[in-house]
Structure 1
Amino acid sequence: MSVDLAHIRSVMAQADCIYPEAEVEAAIARIAVAINADLAESNPLVFCVMNGGLIFSGKLLPKLNFPLELSYLHATRYRNETSGGELFWKAKPEVSLVDREVLIIDDILDEGHTLGAIIDFCQHAGAAKVHIAVLIDKTHERKARPDLNAEYVGLPCIDRFLFGYGMDYKGYWRNAPGIYAVKGM
């Protein structure tokens, strides 16, 4: 697969900054305060949803001041594309979830197909309770399930194609220091 790096660079050059780095960092700090208050005594099993949740997890976890067990999972619908397809599990959890409180950390709650499948998996695997933390919750009417909500949300966001802080554009710009929207998308 050939990548047009000039195009990738131009996407960033033309993008709209929705949330600058300082606002994103403040949102992560607010989420940490809430999680510390709610989960400190629950011995949670924490899952980072790869790859999107990696940066958010890396910023959030050092702010959690209680013992927790950390793992990861990888389920995707995008596969470096700009629209989702069928859910594909790249890595399922390999630890027991039975009677554990679980915290799922992901970059974004968009339509929620992937997060919904992860929640279903955790519940079926015996989790006592599943909590969701997302950096971004997109505002629109296309949620996969009307009951799907994240308990911990960093920032609400308009319905555009976003990248930065773990979210990508065709596999690139997960490392962007802020939340950006692709021009025209």
Structure 2
Amino acid sequence: MPISLEHIQKVMDEAEVLFTEKEIEGAIDRVAEQINQQLADSNPVVFCVMNGGLIFSGKLLMKLTFPLEQSYLHASRYRNETSGGELFWKAKPEISLMDREVLIVDDILDEGHTLSAIVDFCKRSGASQVYTAVLMDKQHDRKARPGLKADFFGLYCADRYIFGYGMDYKGYWRNAAGIYAVKGM
């Protein structure tokens, strides 16, 4: 059933700003510094997880100061819904990962099922080391594995439904220039 534009606009109008564009850009700068220190001599393959990781990945890549190969992959559990289901691969990596260091860049570490499955896939494909970078790390006790953390992260957020800077609300508002929490979610 199509979502009305009135509903989508109402979600934005009622949303709470959690992080401004300036705060997010500062977090991306910090993540880039950490990655530059860790991966500068490794010749990594950097994968953007589509669609959510697109904005974070694009902004982050411009701040990385070493040679790298960049590509994308597309795996999702949400498929424009507000809760996750079974992992669905839309596009698997086409670059060989054999004996390469890999950096997976995604928008958010929520429960971590998708990110864990991507990391496992890269390891099975021969990657020598797999790192993860996320813009947001959602704080709750429902992680796929106890203690699951990204190697590099920008900001922590409360356990709310958020959107903006690549993250969506039912397929909308990935283009929002801040990070917002949906009212009542």
**TM bin (shorter chain):** over 0.9
Cα distance in 2 between the residues matched to 1:40 and 1:150: 18
Alignment correspondent of 1:162 = 162
Q: Who is 1:58 aligned against?
A: 58
Partner Cα distance (2:111, 2:2) in 1: 29
Q: Does 1:153 align with 2:150?
A: no
SS at match of 2:62: helix
Could you tell me the TM-score, scaled by structure 1's length?
Answer: 0.99
Q: In the TM superposition, what are the counterparts of 1:14-25 in structure 2 within 5 Å?
A: 14-25=14-25
Secondary structure in 2 matching 1:67: coil
C-alpha distance in structure 2 between counterparts of 1:95 and 1:75, whole Å: 16
Q: Which residue of 2 aligns with 1:133?
A: 133
Secondary structure, in 3 states, of the residue corresponding to 1:63?
coil
Q: 1:73-152 to 2 correspondence within 5 Å?
A: 73-152=73-152
Deviations 1:144-172 (CA, angstroms, capped at 9, x unpaired): 01242101010000000000000000000
RMSD after superposition: 0.7
Match of 1:49 in 2: 49
List, as ranges, runs of 4+ consecutive aligned residues in structure 1 with deviation greater than 6 Å. none
Q: How high is the sequence identity, in percent, across the aligned residues?
A: 71
1:69-91 deviations in Å (ceiling 9; x for gaps): 00100000001000001100000
Structure 2 stretches of 5 or more lacking a match? Answer: none
Residue 3 of structure 1: CA displacement? 2.8
| Aligned 1:7-46 pairs, distance under 5 A | 7-46=7-46
Cα distance between partner residues in 1 of 2:133 and 2:74? 16
One-letter identity of the residue aligned with 2:64: L
Could you tell me the TM-score, scaled by structure 2's length?
0.99
Q: How far apart, in 1, do the equivalents of 2:123 and 2:172 lie?
A: 32
Separation in structure 2 between the aligned mates of residue 21 and residue 159 of structure 1, nearest angstrom = 20
Alpha-carbon distance in 2 for matches of 1:40, 1:131: 13
Unaligned runs of 5+ in 1: none
Deviation string, structure 1 residues 97-144 (Cα, Å, up to 9, x no partner): 010000000000000000000000000000000000000000000000
